[in-house]
């Protein structure tokens, strides 16, 4: 629980948006996305941690070997996370044959918030996995949300992005294609 709280406090305001507080348009939001690809932890194994969906279905991340995985940790109260999710949904659709995109909410409670967000944003290429205890963030050494890690088919880290990132950019497509070609 403490790991999840530290994620919340270090990156995003976990409070509800005030009425009338509007997000800027998507183009302006994308322009402010400042995360960078970091390969300093390349070779680290994907944590073998169970995540569950709001219906109670579970998967163990360590058992996802066989296909490259892009693992994203996010929360509904994290503004950059909310900007990234539609881009990750599109990325999942565009790369469904070669890459599995797994998004794991770090919500401390209220799985209905995750489901409502998925419905509102029509995230039909993603599944609403949850890690309410923040175990994955702790295992990854994450101190911000969002954090996204690309793993190869054997479950070894290729690179990660801490903080917000434009998952729709040509640079992203090139970085993913290059990593998957190795």
Other Cβ atoms within 10 Å of 120 Cβ, number? 10
CB 130 within 8 A of CB 111: yes
The per-residue pLDDT for 12 is: 61
Non-local CB neighbours of 99 within 8 Å, separated by 6+ positions: 67, 68, 69, 70, 91, 92, 176, 180
pLDDT digits (tens, 9 = 90+) for 16-59: 343 333 344 444 444 445 678 999 999 999 999 999 999 899 99
- Helices marked H in the chain — which ranges? 2-11, 26-31, 79-94, 111-121, 135-140, 170-181
Spatial distance between the Cα atoms of 110 and 115, rounded to a whole number of angstroms: 9
Q: What is the pTM of this model?
A: 0.82
- Using pLDDT thresholds of 50, 70 and 90, give the confidence band for residue 7: very low
Greater pLDDT, 26 or 148? 148
Percentage of the chain with pLDDT > 90?
A: 62
The per-residue pLDDT for 35 is: 77
Average pLDDT, the chain: 83
Other Cβ atoms within 10 Å of 79 Cβ, number? 16
C-alpha distances (whole Å) from 18 to each of 21, 24, 149 are 5, 15, 31
Under DSSP, the state recorded for 63 is: G
**CA torsion through residues 162, 114, 167, 39, sign:** positive
Mean pLDDT of 4-8: 41
The per-residue pLDDT for 13 is: 40
Domains of the chain: 2-10+34-53+64-181 (3.40.30.10)
Specify which residues 127 forms β-bridges with: none
Residue 177 reports pLDDT greater than 50: yes
17-31, 77-91, 101-115: which has the minimum mean pLDDT? 17-31
């Amino acid at each position: 629980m403490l790991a999840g709280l530290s994620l919340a406090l270090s990156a995003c305001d976990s409070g509800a948006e005030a009425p009338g507080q509007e997000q800027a348009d998507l183009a302006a939001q994308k322009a402010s996305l400042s995360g960078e690809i970091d390969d300093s932890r390349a070779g680290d194994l994907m944590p073998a941690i169970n995540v569950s969906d709001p219906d109670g279905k579970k998967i163990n991340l360590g058992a996802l070997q066989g296909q490259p995985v892009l693992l994203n940790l996010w929360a509904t109260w994290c503004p950059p996370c909310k900007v990234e999710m539609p881009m990750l949904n599109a990325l999942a659709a565009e790369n469904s044959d070669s890459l599995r995109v797994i998004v794991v909410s770090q919500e401390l409670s209220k799985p209905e918030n995750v489901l409502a967000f998925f419905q509102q944003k029509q995230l039909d290429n993603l599944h609403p996995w949850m890690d309410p205890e923040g175990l994955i963030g702790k295992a990854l050494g994450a101190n911000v949300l969002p954090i996204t890690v690309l793993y190869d088919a054997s479950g070894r880290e290729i690179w990660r992005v801490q903080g917000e990132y434009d998952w729709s950019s040509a640079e992203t497509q090139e970085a993913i294609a290059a990593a998957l070609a190795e």
